[in-house]
Structure formats: C-alpha cells, structure tokens
C-alpha cells in the first residue's frame, strides 16, 4: 500500500509526477482544512504535506499520527507552528533563495506605480478623462534622487535597495535587527533608528518577517512620524501594519499615499476601506507570482518533501532539532 501525500493549494501539480509511482497523492484546492471531511480523513493517513499557507498547528498535528514532513511552498513559514511540529517529530521546510529578485521587482514596481500614479492615471485615460493637456491635478512625484527607507534589510530588502540606489540614484536608509554591511558598502545604505528613518524618508518600505516583535509594527505613532509627502509601501505581511491606523493616516492626509501587496486578511474584501483611496495602489500578494519563480519554488518544495520522506536531510530544513 502506497504512503499518502496531501497537496494543499499547490499550483504546479505536475511537479508531483515523480512521486506518483511511490506515493498516493491527494490534491486539495480551496477547502477549509479544519472542516473539510475528505481532507480530515486523508490527514489520518498522510505522511507528508506540500502546499501553500496551510495552518499547521497542534489541532492538525493531533489528527495526523503518521505525518513526517510539511513542505511549505513559500519562503515565509508563519503558518507553521514550528514548536508543535518539533514536539510531534514533524519536519518543516520552506523554499528560500528562489523568489528574492522577483519579489524585489514587484515591490519596487509598486513604489513606482504609487509615486507616478500609474493605476489611477491608467483609469483616467480609459474612462475618457484625458481631453486636454495635464494639469497639476494629475501630476505625480519623482522617485529618482529621493530617500528610500527600508525597514528589514534582509535579502529582499537589500535587492530593493540595489534597485533604488543603482537604478534611481536614491539615498538609502535602513532599520534592521543587525547591520547589513554588504548593503552599506554596495548601496551606501545608512543604518539608523526607526524614528529617524520614518521622519527622513520619502518612501518607507516595510520588508520585515512577521514575528511577535513586528506585529503591528506600523501604527498611528509611526505614520504620524512620516512626512506628509511620503509614500508607505508594504511588501512584508499584512499583520505588520495596523490597518485602522493606516486608514486614519490616509484620511487625515498625514501621508501622501500607500502601496500594498499584503493585507491583514487575505483575500481582501471588496468593501475594505483601503480599496476606496485613489492614492493607494493594491495588488493581490503578487510578490513571487511569476510563472518562472513559482515553478522553481514548487520543484524545490517537492525536493524537500521527497528528501524528508526518504530519510535524507532536506536542503531547507526549518527545525533541525527534530532530527535529534
């Protein structure tokens, strides 16, 4: 009898073909994993799970007595309760090192779109409002030679700094848990306290992981410190921002605008207040969403899964202590 693997919201099912001779694979899309009867039944026999954003907590683990590995098809893994997985002897893996350039492209693109009002003026043309020369009502703001403040100078943050400094002659400020000396040398990035970054940056780009320390990192106080001419860009996680505070900052014209790829609750509802502002550019969590990058991530997720199920050490092991 073949051992069972569950694929959850896993876009490239063809990458699983190499496993089909040895494993029984069940694919689940768009279901509620806490209530779907077929999923809960399959979980009882599953030895491996591969997929995107499946909440893996004590409740799920208690229903999966044979589970050996959860292969997360993303760089982030805040959906995994790593301590609980380790207690249950379950390996956790992710897919880093694949999406960094792609995500940096997307987030810097959002910055440009917000600064130059591209989505807003695209609609201006399409609905027939372009009937004469542009006036100051349609003017945007420059990006080149401005100051870009990056909160979270990890790999993606550094690549955003690269695009800003080398491509647009931007001055780079950054705030991070530790100094990034390579970014300082290559992109003349200046390490600073968060308050100074907020007060001096023309663009504030949030790129931190979601941790207890960064939960609601950007709140009313932080938005109040920003320049009224500044644009806020969030490419991290939705819960790093107090959305009510952001809404109030926009309503009170405390900041010039925002560009958001992530939200506290996703998919975002159509009546969300942030979607009503013409000076807020939104995208549906597109950071890594190109065909090439997503396919590479799926292949890596399957490689991690296979390694964990065949007694090998996965390349991207999150909790190495579980092997002990």
Q: Which two tokens stand for residue 225?
A: 């410190």
Which residues fall within 8 angstroms of residue 173, CB to CB, at 6 or more apart? 147, 148, 149, 150, 189, 190, 192, 196, 197, 200, 201
Tell me if 144 sits within 8 A of 116, measured CB to CB. Answer: no
Instruction: Name, in order, each residue with C-beta under 8 angstroms of 122's C-beta and a sequence gap of 6 or more.
Output: none
With tokens 């990058």, the residue in question is 293
From 222, 237, 254, 294, active-site residue: 237
Q: Coil, strand or helix: which one is 224?
A: helix
254 carries an active-site annotation: no
Where do we find the tokens 């202590």? 321
What tokens appear for 296 in the block? 């590479």
Asked about 144 being catalytic, the answer comes back as: no
**Rounded distance between C-alpha atoms, residue 38 and residue 146, angstroms:** 54
Token reading at 131: 């009937």
Q: Would you say how long the chain is, in residues?
A: 324
Active-site residue, from 14, 59, 266, 292: 266
Q: Which two tokens mark 93?
A: 């893996």
Q: Which of these, 173, 180, 178, lies nearest to 198 by C-alpha position?
A: 173
Query: So which residues are the catalytic ones?
Result: 237, 266, 285
């Amino acid at each position: 009898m073949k051992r069972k693997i569950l694929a959850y919201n896993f876009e490239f099912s063809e990458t699983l073909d190499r496993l089909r001779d040895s494993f029984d694979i069940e694919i689940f899309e768009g279901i509620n994993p806490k209530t779907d009867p077929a999923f809960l039944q399959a979980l009882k026999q599953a030895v491996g799970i591969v997929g995107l954003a499946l909440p893996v907590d004590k409740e799920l683990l208690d229903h999966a007595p044979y589970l050996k590995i959860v292969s997360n098809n993303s760089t982030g893994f805040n959906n995994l309760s790593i301590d609980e997985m380790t207690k249950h002897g379950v390996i956790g893996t992710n897919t880093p090192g694949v999406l960094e350039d792609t995500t940096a492209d997307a987030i810097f693109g959002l910055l440009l779109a917000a600064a130059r009002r591209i989505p807003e003026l695209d609609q201006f043309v399409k609905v027939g409002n372009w009937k004469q020369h542009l006036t100051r009502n349609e003017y945007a703001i420059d990006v080149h030679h401005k100051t870009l403040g990056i909160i979270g100078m990890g790999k993606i943050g550094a690549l955003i700094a690269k695009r800003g400094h080398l491509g647009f002659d931007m001055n780079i400020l950054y705030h991070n848990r530790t100094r990034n000396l390579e970014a300082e040398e290559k992109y003349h990035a200046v390490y600073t306290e968060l308050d100074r970054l907020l007060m001096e940056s023309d663009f504030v780009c949030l790129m931190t992981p979601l941790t207890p320390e960064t939960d609601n990192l950007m709140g009313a106080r932080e938005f109040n410190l920003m320049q009224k001419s500044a644009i806020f860009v969030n490419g991290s996680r939705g819960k790093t921002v107090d959305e009510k505070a952001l809404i109030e900052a926009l309503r009170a014209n405390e900041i010039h605008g925002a560009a958001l790829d992530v939200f506290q609750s996703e998919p975002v509802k159509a009546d969300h207040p942030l979607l009503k502002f013409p000076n807020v550019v939104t995208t549906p969590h597109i950071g890594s969403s190109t065909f090439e990058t997503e396919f590479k991530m799926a292949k890596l997720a399957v490689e991690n899964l296979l390694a964990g199920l065949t007694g090998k050490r996965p390349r991207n092991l999150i909790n190495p202590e579980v092997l002990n």
